[in-house]
Each structure stands twice: as C-alpha cells, then as structure tokens.
Amino acid sequence: MQISSQHSSQFEEIYLSHYARMKRFAMEYVIREEDAENIVQDVFLELWEQKLLLVSHTYLFAWLFTATKNRCLDLLRHKTVVRKGAEKLMDEHNIELQMKLQSLEAFDNKIFSEPDIESVVQKAIDTLPKKCREIFVMNKIEGKKQKAIAAELNISVHTVESQMTIAHRKLKEALKEYIPLLLFLLV
Amino acid sequence: MKEILTKYFSGEINGSEERKLFGQMEYDESLRAEYIRLQNIYALTLLGQHPSQEAEGVKGFTTFSQRLQARKRQMKARVILQYAATALLLITSTFFLTRALLLRSNAAIEMNTLYVPAGQRAQLTLHDGTQVWLNAQSTLTYPARFSGNRREVSVVGEAYFDVAENRQKPFVVTTQQLTMEVLGTEFNVYSYPEAGYTQTSLVEGSLRVSETSNKNKSVLLSPYHQVTFSDNKMQLDKLNNPEHLLWRDGIYSFHNEQLIKILAKLELYYDITILVEDPEIFNIRYTGKFRQRDGIDEILHILQKIQSFKIHKDKENNLITLSK
C-alpha cells in the first residue's frame, strides 16, 4: 500500500484546515475535550484510509462533519443508556447529555452539504459589531472564559456578559432559518 | 430562564442555576425546544474557519501522526486469536475416547486439554477429586484418569489447585520452568509465558518445588510462602499478597503494585493490547481490587482517578493507547 507524498501533503492541508472546528463542534455536544479529540482523530484516521481526497471541497466538508456528528451520536447514545435497576431520578449530568443528544439528533445533516454554509456562517458572525464579534470569537471559537476575556481586553466582566447576550440575539436572528423552531418535538 | 440559558451557552452557569435549569426542562417542553434550537445555532457558528485555530490543528496533527505510526506497528505485530462468542470452555481430546476405553491402563492415556479464553475463568474437578481453578488465557493438560503411581498434569497460565489427598500417589504439576510435587494441599501456580517469571504460592499443606529442567534443584515450601523463579533462580519468600488468590472468585487484587505492571496483567486477563505512550507516569503504586466482570473500560476509568491519563480505543485492532 503505497502512500504518495502528494496524498500526505493534501491530507495534512485538509487536516489543518478542519481539525479545530470539528473538535469545537464535537465539544458542543460531547462536552469533554478528550472525547471530542478522540472522535475527531478517529474521523481523520478513517479519512486517511478512505483516500477521499479527490473530491470537491463541499463533499469533503460534509463528509468530515457528518462523520463527526455520527460518532458524537454514538458516544452520547452509549452514555445515556439507562441501565437496568438504575435510579429513576437521573442526575443533571445525565439530563444534560440527553439534551445534547436530542439537540444533535435534531441537527439536520443537510446543513453540512449546503454549498455556501461556511460563508453563511462567516457572514452571520460578521454582522456582529466589531467588539462584540471579537468577544464572541474568543468565547465560542477559542474557548476562553468570560473572566479571561475581560482581563485580556481590559474591560469588565459585565461588559463581556452583555456583549455575549447581544451576540446570541443577533446570531439567533441571522441563522434561525437553518435551525427552525421545533413546534412538535420528535418522540 | 432566558438569561440562565444564555449563561449556560456561554459556559458561565453555576451549579445551582444549572440544577434549576435542568429541573425546569424536565417538564417544560418549550424550554427544551428552545435549548435544542440554541444549542444547534451555536454549534452552527463553529463551522467557519478562524486563523486562531491553526496552532490547534498543528498540535492535533502531531498526535495524529503518532497514532497512525502506532497503529501501523500494532497491525504488524498482532496475532489474531479467534474465539466463539458463546463458548466458555474449549475442551479437546487428543486421543479418541473409544480407543482409550478399549485399551487398559498400560496403553497410551488420553490427555485432555482445557483452554480458558481471555476474560473468563473455569473450575473443574479431576478424576481423583482434585479441584482446579483456571484463570484467563490458561491451559490445563490432564488425563481423564490417573493411572500409575503418580498423578501428573501440566499448566500454562495460572491455576489454583486443591489437591485430593493420596499418600500413595503424589500429584505433580509441570509448568515450563517449575514443577510442583504434592501429596495433598492447596496452592496457586502462576506461569504465563509473557510474564517473564513463574510463581508458586502455597496456602495449605506442603509442596516440593523444583526446576523443570533440573529436578535436583528444589525447595520445600511451607504454608503462606511462595517461590518465584526468574533470571534462572528460585527465590523463597513469605506470601506477599494472599488476596491475589481471590482471582478464583473473579476478583483481581493488587497490593502495592506498579500501575504499569497492573496494566500488563490486564492485558493478559482481557486479551487486549495496551500501548503506553508515556510509561513514566505509570510508576505509581496501587493497592486495590477489581471485579473481572467489570470489564477493561470500567477498570481503566477507576485507575484514571489515581493517575490521570488519556485513553484512546482502537476497536478494530483491539488496541488501547494510554498517554499523558
């Protein structure tokens, strides 16, 4: 099984461009960074073996994120299986995992295949006022806590909080058509 | 509630607020719907690329390359063992039973082989009433009937014997390095080829332990003592971990044992390969017990509480990688 050097450098490019956002996406649902890392590494191992590189960017993007989503679903399902004789009263960690699972199940795969989804998302973030955007990126994309952001930008935690509230409101507005309000919950 | 939800998705929620939130979500359907919607919107915002993420990608790629190399190495070294999913014991007869029944004791005695797969254990009673317990990945070779003036069996792996007393016929257990001779007694023998040493522990009675390759070198064991054979010599000690013998009840007990050695034993008991990337963090010693039926995942999670490490499972290749 000869791996061409072209294959490896192409692969590395794709890896570097997608790894971090796949991991952050996974962390939204599986919570633990370690679990998210393992999932994303496994997806890339699968990609390496499949040699799926001679395809369009859109296809690759959809493949990577769908694979990530599916592995997250597997993990969450495994963790939320109610064992025989378990207490009826579940602790809130379990309820949280259940909610994450339900959310991910409701996340439509078609979104990953939307040809311009990346620019749609980027545009939505760009609609935020400059400071607000900066704070949002630091919190959600870079994973920094509000206290750390306040310290780094030399502003109050209260300011960070209110900017995040604005960010949430504006992003909800910009992206709501992609994530419709569920009027009837799927059982 | 809206503010609490926002707090939650900013990662700034505290314990009591979280309890309140999930408490209300249990019966508030619209709150749950709002959670799901917000969760997915925020996850969506993570799909775009950001320059600040490049460093993370580089770090991840280094780890990825290491895992890829490890996997390639592992695939070359692996020996594939197949087990029937439902079979607990595999008993094979190397000679035809009918032939043995026709021929009397002077003829070839048929030897039975009992093999216990990984993750299992077995107990059987021999023709003379001797009881034997076999641990995971162990083999006992024994005759259907003991004839002649000795009772002879051989062991690979770990076995515990409660030997029926018979002063006329000594019971002899042969392993690769040590041979044990008893009249009537209870003892444990540990002789896995991968372990690098053989150990016999005596519980009750008296036991003569000699080197299989040189019967002149022998030691007489008294109760609650053990002989360890490694580096070509026998060492006599007091029994240092009598609770180890609980393996017969499906309990693995370790006494002040280095984690790295515990991991090696777990590899044997569960037929899995554990690859340790940072062995220096596993020098810590541990005293405790695990149940065999807990399974390898549960046991590793318990060990994580004493020494923090990361677990990566490669199900296809039956490999677990542990790292800092």
Same domain for A86 and A16: yes
Same domain for A156 and A110: no
**Per-residue pLDDT tens for A28-80?**
999 989 899 999 999 999 888 876 666 778 888 999 999 999 999 999 988 88
Q: How far apart are CA A99 and CA A105, in angstroms?
A: 10
Q: How far apart are CA A54 and CA B172, in angstroms?
A: 66
- Residue B251 to chain A, least CA–CA distance (Å): 23
User: Which residues does A94 contact at the CB level (< 8 Å), separation at least 6?
Assistant: A80
CB contact under 8 A, A164 and B45: no
Q: Looking at beta carbons, which residues of chain A come within 8 Å of B29?
A: 185
What pLDDT shows up at residue B75? 65
For A164, which of B10, B45, B47 is closest by C-beta distance? Answer: B10
What pLDDT shows up at residue A184? 44
What value does the CA radius of gyration of chain B take, rounded to a whole number of Å?
28
Same domain for A153 and A109: no
- Closest CA relative to residue A110, chosen from A160, A62, A54: A62
CB contact under 8 A, A41 and B312: yes
Q: Do the beta carbons of residue A44 and residue B64 sit within 8 Å?
A: yes
For B47, which of A118, A139, A183 is closest by C-beta distance? Answer: A118
Q: How far apart are CA A4 and CA B228, in angstroms?
A: 52
CB contact under 8 A, A107 and B10: no
Same domain for A77 and A56: yes
Same domain for A96 and A145: no
Q: Looking at beta carbons, which residues of chain B come within 8 Å of A185?
A: 29, 32-33
Fold of B90-244: Jelly Rolls (2.60.120)
Q: pLDDT per position in chain B (324 positions), as tens? A: 777 888 888 888 887 888 888 888 888 888 999 899 889 999 999 998 888 888 889 999 999 998 888 887 766 655 443 343 333 334 443 334 444 455 554 445 678 888 888 878 888 888 888 999 998 889 999 988 888 888 999 999 999 998 888 888 889 999 888 898 886 788 889 888 877 888 998 888 888 888 888 888 888 888 888 999 888 888 888 888 888 888 887 788 888 888 888 888 888 788 788 888 887 888 888 888 888 777 888 888 888 887 888 889 888 888 888 888
Position A99 confidence tier, pLDDT thresholds 50, 70, 90 = very high
Which chain A residue's Cα is nearest to B49? A21
Q: Looking at beta carbons, which residues of chain A come within 8 Å of B22?
A: 92, 95-96, 99
The residue type at B132: V
- Residue B285 to chain A, least CA–CA distance (Å): 25
For A121, which of B12, B29, B44 is closest by C-beta distance? Answer: B44
Q: Looking at beta carbons, which residues of chain B come within 8 Å of A41?
A: 60, 63-64, 67, 312
**Per-residue pLDDT tens for A120-175?**
898 999 999 999 999 999 988 888 888 899 999 999 989 998 999 899 889 988 88
- Residue A159 to chain B, least CA–CA distance (Å): 14
Q: Is residue A167 part of a domain?
A: yes
Q: Looking at beta carbons, which residues of chain A come within 8 Å of B45?
A: 121, 124-125, 136, 140, 171, 175
Token readout for A124 is 């939505």
What pLDDT shows up at residue A52? 62
Position A93 confidence tier, pLDDT thresholds 50, 70, 90 = confident
CB contact under 8 A, A140 and B44: no
Domain locations in chain B as residue ranges: 1-48, 55-81+251-324, 90-244
What pLDDT shows up at residue B108? 55
For A102, which of B6, B36, B310 is closest by C-beta distance? Answer: B36
Q: Is residue A160 part of a domain?
A: yes
Q: Do the beta carbons of residue B38 and residue A140 sit within 8 Å?
A: no
CB contact under 8 A, A20 and B48: no
Residue range A104-115: average pLDDT? 86
What pLDDT shows up at residue A84? 44
Enclosing domain of residue A35: 5-115
What pLDDT shows up at residue B159? 93
E-assigned strands of A5-60?
none
The residue type at A155: I
What pLDDT shows up at residue A92? 64
Looking at residue B128, what DSSP letter applies?
Answer: T
Of the three residues A115, A137, A165, the one that is the final residue of a domain is: A115
Q: How many structural domains does chain A have?
A: 2
Same domain for A166 and A97: no
Same domain for A150 and A82: no
For B42, which of A96, A99, A140 is closest by C-beta distance? Answer: A140
For A15, which of B19, B64, B310 is closest by C-beta distance? Answer: B64
Top-tier CATH class for B55-81+251-324 = alpha beta
Same domain for A100 and A24: yes
Same domain for A25 and A111: yes
Tell the residue number behind the tokens 């496994």, with chain if given. Answer: A42
ipTM over cut 0.85: yes
Q: CATH no. for residue A169?
A: 1.10.10.10
For B29, which of A25, A29, A185 is closest by C-beta distance? Answer: A185
Chain A interface, mutation test: which of B12, B13, B46, B322, most A Cβ atoms within 10 Å? Answer: B46
Chain A interface, mutation test: which of B8, B10, B13, B65, most A Cβ atoms within 10 Å? Answer: B10
Of the three residues A100, A115, A130, the one that is the final residue of a domain is: A115
Of the three residues A115, A136, A165, the one that is the final residue of a domain is: A115
Q: Do the beta carbons of residue A132 and residue A140 sit within 8 Å?
A: no
Asked whether the CA dihedral B65, B70, B71, B76 is positive or negative, the reply is positive
pTM: 0.52
Q: At what angle do helices A92-106 and A5-30 cross, to 10 degrees?
A: 130
Would the pLDDT of A183 be above 50? no
What pLDDT shows up at residue A36? 95
- Residue B4 to chain A, least CA–CA distance (Å): 11
Residue range A94-117: average pLDDT? 87
